[in-house]
Structure 1
Amino acid sequence: MHSEIQRERAEIGGMMARPEYREWNPELIKPKKLLNPVKASRSHQELHRELLANHRRGLGVDSKPELQRVLEHRRRNQLIKKKKEELEAKRLQCPFEQELLRRQQRLNQLEKQPEKEEEHTPEFLKVRGNLRRIATPTSEERAL
């Protein structure tokens, strides 16, 4: 029995040695790994070499002077503010929204005017107005 197995292996091995008996097996053909064009470029390799050298020397990637960092931060903030102002200006360009804004301002002014008038009136006039509101018995009511 052991010899039969060996004989079958030899036959299979002999058949495999001959190219016409080989069956296609995906494990036999291994594809080559494709090269990354970015990593293969000379500029990338030089930058990588420079980064490694700086790392060995102890220099950090973000070793910008403090003044330069502060100036960049200010520029970035100014750009953000400018964009916000432009967006707000575009938003206010709509005629419908402009009219709504005008109406809102007018209403606010109308509400503030009575408050201002009340603030300027003397105290005794305010008290007199309150006294008038209090119901005083008229002569007819007194007779009853």
Structure 2
Amino acid sequence: MYSEIQRERADIGGLMARPEHREWNPELIKPKKLLNPVKASRNHQEMHRELLMNHRRGLGVDSKPELQRVLEHRRRNQLIKKKKEELEAKRLQCPFEQELLRRQQRLNQLEKPPEKEEDHAPEFIKVRENLRRITTLTSGERAL
């Protein structure tokens, strides 16, 4: 009986009986890989299949979330506006162009007051002028 136990140990430990193989060898027992319940689900498999098909077609999923894209777009627009303002500020620094702008503003002010006076006229004066135009048109039509 004692010899049978020794034989079984020798059979089980076969390679371990040698001094160079006394350590545990991972190749002797390979553990089975556990199944991931998420990957095993039908939903996940269908979504993965759909992603692969879209990738093959070239319909890639957006890599950035919508909020991040919007924020980047705003930042880009702000930088563009800032650069335009800086360019205009540099452009207006030229004394010749500043003088031209002042002249243009003065000319615009001289041209605008007559229009403003008409706009500020009381309502009855505007109606009276419209009536005069209507009466002159009707009398001109009678002459024809």
Which category describes the TM-score, using the shorter chain as reference length? 0.3 to 0.5
- TM-score, normalised relative to structure 2: 0.40
Normalising by structure 1, what TM-score?
0.40
